[in-house]
Amino acid sequence: MYLRELAIPLEKIKIKGIGSASIGALTKAGIHTVEALLRRYPRDWEDRSRIVPLRDYSRQQVCTTVKVLAHDWFGFGRMRTLKVHVEDESGRAVLVCFQRPFLEKQLIPGKQYRLWGNFSFKYGEIQATAFEVEPCDSSGSFFGKILPVYPLSAGLSQSLLRRFVRHVLDQYASGIESEIPEAIIQRDGLLPKSEAINAIHFPASQTELEAARKTLIYEELFFLEVMVGKRALERRSGQLSGGQLPVAVMGDSDFSPLQKRLIERLPFSLTAGQKEAAAEINRDMNGQWPMARLLQGDVGSGKTLVSFLAALLSIEQGGQAAIMAPTELLARQHAENAARLLEPIGVRPAFLTGNIKAAGRSQLLKRLASGDIDMVIGTHALFSKDVVYKNLRLVVVDEQHRFGVTQRQAITAKGDHPDLLMMSATPIPRTLAFTVFGDLDVSVIRDLPPGRKPVKTHLTKQSNENKVYDFIRKELAAGRQAYFVYPLIEAGDSYLKDAETMAENLGKKIFPQYKTALIHSRLDDEQKRQTMEAFRSGGIRILTATSVVEVGVDVPNASCMVICHAERFGLSALHQLRGRVGRGADQSYCFLIYSEPPPDPADIFSGGLSEDGKTRLKVMLENNDGFVIAEEDLKLRGPGQIAGTEQSGFLSLGIADPLRDIKVLEQARTDAFTMLENDPGLLQPEHLRVAAAIGPDGSFAGGQRVLV
C-alpha cells in the first residue's frame, strides 16, 4: 500500500475528543484524508527529551520542571492579563498569559508543573508568552520526547494535530511502501517509507529525524525532476514532422530577412543580451523539436522586442504567433508597439481581449482562422473555445508567473506543438529556474539599453513625506511626471492610506496646479486605457494608482515613483514598480515611504515594522539589480510564490526547499534523468512504482503536484 492510496476520509477515523468541529477545521485547512494528514509535515520540532533550565533561556527553548510561586495581573477591565511567577533550581521567570485567564485556576501556587517555552528578558524579568505546561503527574505526557510543530489555521491546535496524527500513524503507517527505486534507497541509506513517515512526525532521536528528513526531501525532489524529465523527453520526441518541420532560413548567428528589416528600422541598436537571446531562440525554432525556452531579464531590458523577432521568424516559416499578456493594459501596449514596428514591414497584427465587441470579434476570429492575421496579441481570450488558428507556430507568454499551468497549456493546445517562449520581468534565480523550469532552456538578458540611468532610491518615514512632496513639486515644475502608488483602492478600517482618498488630496490640496488622475483594477478597461493614454501623452501629470501599474506602463517622461506603505509590498512588486521610471534620458527617483503599524492594545509587544518588512526595504535601498533582488525574494518568500506557482498548482513541496536543498536537487535530477534515458516508458520492474506514482496523466498522484 502506498501513502497516496490512503484516501480514507477523516470523518471515518474515530478518536475520543476529536469531533465534527475539529474535522471541519481540518477540512477548511485542506486536510480531507488520511494521506493529506500524514503529508501535513511539521514545520519544526521541539526537543523535550532534554532538560533545559530557566538560566539557559537565551540559548535554547526551556524544558524544565517549575514550581508556581504566585499570580499577578496587569492592565484594566477586559484587558487584564494574568502573570504567573515560577521558579526551578536555576532561577525564576514569569509566564505572561495573554487571553488565558483560565490558567489562574490551573496553575496553582505551591504545585509543580512541567514547562516548555521560548523565554526572553523584557521589562526587567525573564518571561515567556508562548509556553506549554502540564501537571507532573499527568498521563500521556508529551514531555521527554521530540514533538512535531505543525502549521496551524483557525480551529486547529498542536495538541489536536499531534493526537490525530499519532492515532493515524499507529493504525496505518506500518503498511506504507516506498515509491522511489530500491537501488537508490540502498545507495543513499534512506529509510523505508513507513519508517520515514513515522519518524518525520514523532522521531525517537535527532538522528532518526535527520534520516526521515533526508528521505522525504529526496523523494519530493526526485519526483519533481521525474516530471521535469518526462516533459523534456516529450518535447524532444520528434513531434515536429512532415509539413511541420521548420524552414531553415538562416545560419546559427544570423537574423532572418524579416528580422533584419525590423532591426534596420529601429532608431537604436540591439544590446548584446538581446542579440544573444534572439540567436538562441532562432536556433531553437530551427531545431528538431518544439522550442521550450524561458526568456528572463530585468525591467526594461527589451524582452518584448526579442519576442517580436521570434514572431517574425514564425511568420516567415508560414505560421502564426500569439503573444499572451496577463492584463489588458500590458496586452494593449504590446499591440500598439507591434502595429508601430511591424505593420510597416508587412506583418498583419491584431489585438484580442474579452472586451472586444461581438461584431468586431467575429470578423477578427474569421481572419485569424483563415490565416489573414499573422500575429495576435491579447489576454486570456487568446485560448477561448471559439478562437481557432490556421497554423499557430509560436506562443509567447509574457509575465508567465501570472498565469497558471492550465492556462499556459490551453494556449499551446491551440496549435500542433507550437514553439513556446515564456518571458519574465521578475528574474528567476538559477536555483528556481533549475527546479521549476528544469525542462526549459533559459535565455537571460542582463544588460539594459544604453543611456539608461539607474533609478535613485530613497527610504522615507511617513512623518517626513512632506519632504518627498517638495522634491516631486520641483520635478513637476521641470516638466516631468510622477506616480503615487498605494496598497488599497478605497478607505477601510486600517491605518493604511488608499488611492481614492489620496488622488483627491494630491489633486486638490498638495499639487492643485497639476492634473491628477486615478487608476485601479475596478475601473473598466476603457477608462483605464483613456487614463493611461492621457498620462502617456502628458495631459495627466500625476497618476495615483494601486499596483495595477506594476506592469504594462512605459512613460519615459515619468521620473518619480512614490510607493506609500512600501513595507506592505513584496520585493518583486517593489522592483517592478520602481521599473516604471528610469525609462527616459532624465535621472529618475523612487521614494519608498514606510509606516510603522500602531500597536495592538491586546499585545504589548506589537507595533513597528516586521523583520521581513525591514529586510525588503533594505534590499531595495541597496540594490538595483533585479537578479540580486530575486535571490533575496526567494529567501524570504519561497519558490512557489516567486514563480507564481503556489496558487496555480505548479509546484507544491511539503518538506523540500530547492534553495536549501540544492545538492539533493542536483542528485535527484541526475537520478531521474538517468532513469528516464534508460527507461523512457518506466516499464522496467524496478521503475513500475515510479510510473504508478506519477499517474497516467503525467501529474504526481500523491500530495505534491508538479505539473510543468
pLDDT above 50 for 704: no
Cα distances (angstroms) measured from residue 374 to each of 58, 311, 317, 383, 486: 68, 9, 11, 16, 40
Find the range with the poorest average confidence among 222-236, 368-382, 599-613: 599-613
Q: Band the pLDDT of 563: cuts 50, 70, 90.
A: very high
CB 254 within 8 A of CB 278: no
* CA-only gyration radius of the chain, Å: 30
Average pLDDT over residues 594-605: 63
Find the range with the poorest average confidence among 138-147, 203-212, 341-350, 549-558: 138-147
Residue 438 phi/psi, 5° resolution?
-65, -15
- Residue 140 has what pLDDT? 57
Q: Band the pLDDT of 249: cuts 50, 70, 90.
A: very low
pLDDT above 80 for 405: no
pLDDT above 60 for 653: yes
End-to-end CA distance of the chain: 27
Cα(669)–Cα(646) distance, rounded to whole angstroms?
21
pLDDT above 50 for 644: no
Which of 658 and 460 is assigned the larger pLDDT? 460
CB 431 within 8 A of CB 456: no
Average pLDDT over residues 533-559: 88
- Residue 404 has what pLDDT? 59
Q: Band the pLDDT of 112: cuts 50, 70, 90.
A: very high
CB 389 within 8 A of CB 415: yes
Find the range with the poorest average confidence among 531-545, 608-622, 631-645: 631-645
DSSP for 591-647, written as a single string = EEEE-PPPPPTT-TT--S--HHHHHHHHHHHH---HHHHHHHHHHHH-HHHHTT-TT
- Residue 99 has what pLDDT? 83
pLDDT above 60 for 200: yes
Q: What pLDDT digit, counting tens, does each position of 451-501 carry?
A: 778 899 999 999 999 999 999 999 999 999 999 999 999 988 778 999 999
CB 385 within 8 A of CB 327: no
- Residue 341 has what pLDDT? 95
- Residue 246 has what pLDDT? 39
Q: Band the pLDDT of 439: cuts 50, 70, 90.
A: low
Q: What pLDDT digit, counting tens, does each position of 113-156 carry?
A: 999 899 999 888 999 998 988 888 776 566 778 989 998 887 88
- Residue 258 has what pLDDT? 95
Residues 6+ apart with CB under 8 A from 556: 583, 584, 585
Residues 6+ apart with CB under 8 A from 513: none
Average pLDDT over residues 402-427: 79
Characterize the bridge pairing of strands 292-297 and 441-445.
parallel
CB 621 within 8 A of CB 590: no
Which of 401 and 164 is assigned the larger pLDDT? 164
The CA-based dihedral angle spanning residues 94, 95, 100, 106, taken in that order and rounded to the nearest 10 degrees: -90
- Residue 624 has what pLDDT? 85
Q: In 10 A of CB 441, how many CB atoms? A: 15
Give the type of residue at 268: F
Find the range with the poorest average confidence among 71-85, 469-483, 500-514, 641-655: 641-655
- Residue 706 has what pLDDT? 38
Cα(19)–Cα(9) distance, rounded to whole angstroms?
14
pLDDT above 60 for 365: yes
3-class DSSP state for residue 106? helix
**What average pLDDT does the chain have?**
85
Which of 160 and 231 is assigned the larger pLDDT? 160
CA atoms within 13 A on the CB side of 685: 0
Cα(474)–Cα(478) distance, rounded to whole angstroms?
6
Find the range with the poorest average confidence among 192-196, 471-475, 516-520, 570-574: 570-574
Q: Give the bridge partners for 322, in sequence order.
A: 376, 395
pLDDT above 90 for 193: yes
Handedness of CA 498, 503, 504, 505 (dihedral sign): positive
Cα(454)–Cα(581) distance, rounded to whole angstroms?
10
Average pLDDT over residues 13-27: 83
- Residue 224 has what pLDDT? 85
- Residue 552 has what pLDDT? 61
Q: Which residue has the cell 524579568?
A: 125
